[in-house]
Structure 1
Amino acid sequence: MSLLFSPISLGPITLDNRIVVAPMCEYSAENGCATDWHLIHLGHLALSGAGLLIVEATAVEAVGRITPYDLGLYDDAAEAALGKVVQAIRRYAPIRLGVQLSHAGRKASSQAPWEGGQQIPEERGGWRSVAPSALAHGPTEEAPLALDAAGLARIKQAFVDAALRAVRLGFDLIELHGAHGYLLHQFLSPLANQRSDAYGGTLENRMRFPLQVFEAIRQVVPAGVAVGMRVSATDWVEGGLDPTQVVTFVQALKERRCDFVHVSSAGVSPLQRIPLSPGYQVPFAEAIKRETGVPTIAVGLITEAEQAEEILQKGQADMVALARGMLFDPRWPWHAAAKLGASVDAPRQYWRSQPREFKTLFRDASFGQR
């Protein structure tokens, strides 16, 4: 039997298979509100046959957006707009739904990638970013404001409020974004965090704010919702965050009832040097799984069904996530199931597409249809 297509439990929820559609920023929101693009984009990925779909990095406050076009969940309008997307998916697909709550910190107020991705200064419609320390991400960027006690309290409450909105919308899972150089990662990394108070210096201090945010969300989220975190296992820069430190951080998350960890790397420094190769981040997921026992999601240049199956068979991770690969082939789970002799959920409207040699490929995913 294929492990990739076997069920798995993440705390209180069970996934039908171990394929995750990773969060992918679309830079297509309006004032933080989901648009018809999100309905189309997330709608067709919800019909992919994956076990879990995680909505893109969703800002917990307006100044926490990476770009002016980021999705948000910080006011009633944003909640209502995302709610329409969730309702449409719930009507037609049985897939488990998660949302990634995020704050960009010093990487906020930037252009969309196709516009160059550079920082937008305040005089050109941008805004002043905030961070653990007044250190700019890049040499040509404006330094952020260092967060004081009031700022830390405000952002922690923003995460809690966004989590409660996610619960009201009916999400099964909440993933905190502690990776890719965004705010929670900035606190963890000594490259971005040079504070001299209780939130900087030692690893114990640098972990303090991310753990406080996680604890605050864990306390208010109902028991039926899974809560986990995305982490960067290394900064790929000498003197930065490394896998040993991240294992310690995940052990602390485990003590606070973390249901899963989504393992990637990098993002906090333009000096990073990443040795790209197929599955290059999988060893980090393997180490975290081995050392902590927390269910792990591996991601990063995982493109082939056989590759994904091998990762699970070797015990290197508990799930695999695809992002760019899923955009290139939104029916990747179908094709993987065909290769591995498994079955996958598919809406009855698509059953006629099933090749004759795969007569048992599709299961009925006509969840809630009328």
Structure 2
Amino acid sequence: MPLLNTPLEAGRVKLKNRLVFPPMATAKSERGEVGPDLLRYYDEKSKGGHFGLVIIEHSYIAPEGRASAGQLSVAEDRLVDGLKTLAEAIHANGSKTAMQINHCGGGISPEVTGIDGFAPSSVSNPAREGPLPIALDQDGIRKIIQQFSLAALRVKAAGFDAVEIHSAHGYLLNQFLSPLTNQRADEYGGSLQNRIRIHLEVVKAVRDAVGEAYPVFLRLGAADYMEGGQTPEESASAARELERAGVDLIDISGGMCRYFNPFTKAPGYFAAASRVVKGAVSVPVLVTGGITRPEEAEEILRKGDTDLVGVGRAAAKDSDWGRKAMEALSGK
């Protein structure tokens, strides 16, 4: 049996195979709600249940943390019923599903939110264009931690199998992680331990909200690939702390480079970073990045670079990718 089609059981994470449909923004939401277009999209992508896990695109935890028009929201209790229909559709097709929650932070477009953005420090963001953000004070940090907690509770109430906290692609938590965007002089800046302090506090607040049995994932911008930026080695140390804090799965992607590796376009272009992080933790690791053929996904698993493989753009283009991949690898 191909590794891609083998089950994964690790603590709270139990999946029927190693293939993941990763979070990708669709801009199909209507006023932050689950509408017919978004529902049809995920129903089509999850048909047949060939993905062990479907992770719903990043959804904003507060209106002031909205990244773009058409972005899905998890900022209000009234949205839970609509989100429930989305979880039910994916479950009916035979896959588990998680929902990714996010705050844009610095780089917010005033045209989208109506306000100026805020971030760990008032510095330019190499991943997100926009006016200089306002540096968060401690009250602002505490408010955001609470917003993540409430959003996670809504995800659970809507029937999703897990919640994923977004700290990649230059968004708010990633801005705290990266030395390029975090120039604070207090307990939230400077050393790696200080730069991940907000992550640990968010994870604790989310864990307190959803309970001990509910899986909590985190997408980690494991490398900036820029001078003075976050490195895979630092991210491995951060991942160890996140595991201790209660994170059940680390989802590896880019940091200030967003979802591209500027140094390689080879399939699985974040696999090298994933390998470093995987060597530091015992929880499952997921990696994405330019994988278009089933043989590429299988090879990354066999090399031990990751436990799970996300195939995004190829599956977005071909909704039958999962079925074709499993059949190709099994020789059918």
Q: Normalization by structure 2: what TM-score?
A: 0.93
* Residue matched to 1:264: 253
Output the CA distance in 2 between the equivalents of 1:88 and 1:247. 36
1:270-325 Cα deviation digits (max 9, x unpaired)? xx844322221111111111122331111101111111111112211101001111
Alignment of 1:1-370 (within 5 A): 1-48=1-48, 49-90=50-91, 92-109=92-109, 120-121=110-111, 126-137=114-125, 141-267=130-256, 273-341=262-330, 358=332
**Aligned CA distance change for structure 1 residues 175 and 140 (closer, same or farther; 3 Å):** closer
Larger Rg: 1 or 2? 1
Percent of matched pairs sharing the same residue: 34
Which runs of no fewer than 5 residues in structure 1 stay unpaired? 110-119, 343-357, 359-370
TM-aligned CA deviation for residue 83 of structure 1: 2.1
Which runs of no fewer than 5 residues in structure 2 stay unpaired? none
Output the CA distance in 2 between the equivalents of 1:25 and 1:121. 19
Output the CA distance in 2 between the equivalents of 1:13 and 1:224. 10
Q: Indicate the RMSD between aligned Cα atoms, in angstroms.
A: 2.0
Output the CA distance in 1 between the equivalents of 2:290 and 2:28. 25
SS at match of 2:280: helix
TM-aligned CA deviation for residue 268 of structure 1: 5.8
* Residue matched to 1:365: none
Kept in 2, the 8 Å contact 1:74–1:162? The answer is yes
Kept in 2, the 8 Å contact 1:43–1:89? The answer is yes
Output the CA distance in 2 between the equivalents of 1:172 and 1:224. 11
**Aligned CA distance change for structure 1 residues 210 and 63 (closer, same or farther; 3 Å):** same
SS at match of 1:4: helix
Kept in 2, the 8 Å contact 1:18–1:320? The answer is yes
TM-aligned CA deviation for residue 108 of structure 1: 2.3
TM-aligned CA deviation for residue 340 of structure 1: 1.4
Q: Which runs of 4+ in 1 moved over 6 A?
A: none
Output the CA distance in 2 between the equivalents of 1:11 and 1:330. 30
TM-aligned CA deviation for residue 70 of structure 1: 1.0
Kept in 2, the 8 Å contact 1:237–1:273? The answer is no
TM-aligned CA deviation for residue 24 of structure 1: 0.8
**Aligned CA distance change for structure 1 residues 170 and 332 (closer, same or farther; 3 Å):** same
Residue 194 of structure 1 aligns to which amino acid in structure 2?
A: Q
Give the number of aligned pairs. 329
Q: 78-87 vs 168-177, which deviates more?
A: 78-87
**Aligned CA distance change for structure 1 residues 4 and 241 (closer, same or farther; 3 Å):** same
1:170-218 Cα deviation digits (max 9, x unpaired)? 1111111011110110000011011111101111111111111012112
Residue 65 of structure 2 aligns to which amino acid in structure 1?
A: G
TM-aligned CA deviation for residue 86 of structure 1: 2.1
TM-aligned CA deviation for residue 140 of structure 1: 6.8
TM-aligned CA deviation for residue 81 of structure 1: 2.3
Output the CA distance in 2 between the equivalents of 1:300 and 1:309. 14
1:222-259 Cα deviation digits (max 9, x unpaired)? 33321111111110110011111101100101111221
Q: Normalization by structure 1: what TM-score?
A: 0.84
Residue 78 of structure 2 aligns to which amino acid in structure 1?
A: A
